[in-house]
Amino acid sequence: MRIFDRISNGWTIGNISLSIIKNNPSLLLFPIISGISMIIVFLSYFGGGLILLLGASLSSFSSLESLANSDLLADSVVYVITFGFYLTNYFIVIFFNVALVHCAKRILDGKETSVGEGINFALTKVINILSWAILAATVGVILKIIQQRAGKFGEIISSILGVVWGIATFFVVPVLAYENVGPIDALKRSSDIIQNKWGESLGANFSFSIFTFLGLVATILIGMLLAVGIHPVAGLIAGILLFLLVLSTVSAAEVVFLAAAYEHVNERPSKLFQGKILDNMFVRR
């Protein structure tokens, strides 16, 4: 597929997904609630983590342990806090994405849905979601350790592994939602979908980043106009709120697309997304 065809393909996918969000604005509540929850979690872990780390260091120095042991204890505390932070965030993100996938699937099937229905559905999958969050957090910590311990080489390796992990887990959310499997089987199932449908892929032909960029440009322009015409504080506040809205909209659109792609690979195509477009999602090796 030529570069301009790829751009056109991604643009079409993005526009269809965004149009569904436009017609069903309640879907935006899922990434908004998820984002607010993650901010609260971040603030909680940031404050609590500093206290635990300081306590571990003071405890070590007050004993007969060496400085090396102190550093080891501090590192262990950091990794435990990091794991807890990853676990909580992965759980929140996957939970609300499962809820959103369910609502998106209902809409693609031409049925009505609601935010409450999506959340209730996700609650029935909470064990699978938690199991996956544990696995994802473990992988995240391992990649973090590789990145920190192996210098530049570690950064390269962790980046490559991160990309591979991202592709392999592309369909994990709908798999967790609609296939009663554990985390390892969910990973295998997601990888199998990618390999069986598109072969071993190097990367995606689509990207929602251009929509995020365009939204950022519009946000900056609107913020500047308000700052000049009304007050700098008004421009700053409006800019922040608008950008958060852009992020929420694009995030919701990505999940809508994910739901459509999952339906497509399971031979339940939606009339809103052309099969040819979805077949060209990934670049073949």
Give tens-digit pLDDT for 19-49.
999 999 999 999 999 989 888 888 877 665 5
List all residues 6 or more positions away from 152 whose beta carbon is below 8 Å from its beta carbon.
none
- pLDDT band at 101, cuts 50/70/90? very high
Asked whether residue 194 carries a pLDDT value surpassing 90, the answer given is no
Q: At 125, is the secondary structure helix, strand, or coil?
A: coil
- Residue 88 vs residue 264, higher pLDDT: 88
* Residue 203 confidence class, pLDDT cut points 50, 70, 90: very low
- What is the rounded CA–CA span in Å between residue 229 and residue 170? 44
Look up residue 121 and give its two tokens: 């559905």
pLDDT band at 263 (very low <50, low <70, confident <90, very high): confident
pLDDT reading at 248 higher than 80:
yes
Q: Which of 66-70, 116-120, 277-281 has the lowest mean pLDDT?
A: 66-70
Mean pLDDT value across residues 234-251: 90
Cα(132)–Cα(172) distance, integer angstroms: 9
**What stretches of the chain show up as alpha helix (H) in DSSP?**
3-23, 29-62, 67-108, 115-123, 126-149, 151-168, 172-178, 183-198, 209-229, 232-265, 275-279
Select the highest-mean-pLDDT range: 41-45, 149-153, 239-243, 267-271: 239-243
Mean pLDDT to the nearest integer, 226-242: 89
**In DSSP terms, which residues pair with 203 in a beta bridge?**
283
Q: Which token pair is 115?
A: 């935010």
**Predicted model pTM:** 0.82
Q: What is the mean pLDDT of residues 210-222?
A: 89
Q: What is the pLDDT of residue 42?
A: 81
Other Cβ atoms closer than 10 A to 113: 18
Tokens representing 14 are 């993005």
Measure the CA–CA gap between 35 and 30, rounded to whole angstroms: 9
User: Considering the chain, what percentage of its residues have pLDDT values greater than 70?
Assistant: 79
CA distance 183 to 169: 10
Domains of the chain, by residue range, sit at 3-284
Q: Is the pLDDT of residue 278 over 50?
A: yes
> What's the CA gap between 255 and 249, in Å, rounded?
10
Which pLDDT does position 266 carry in this prediction?
81
Q: Is the pLDDT of residue 58 over 50?
A: no
Residue type, 111: K
Q: What distance in Å separates the CA atoms of residue 137 and residue 88, rounded to the nearest whole number?
A: 9
Of 77 and 226, the one with more pLDDT: 226
Return the bridge partners of 283, or none: 203
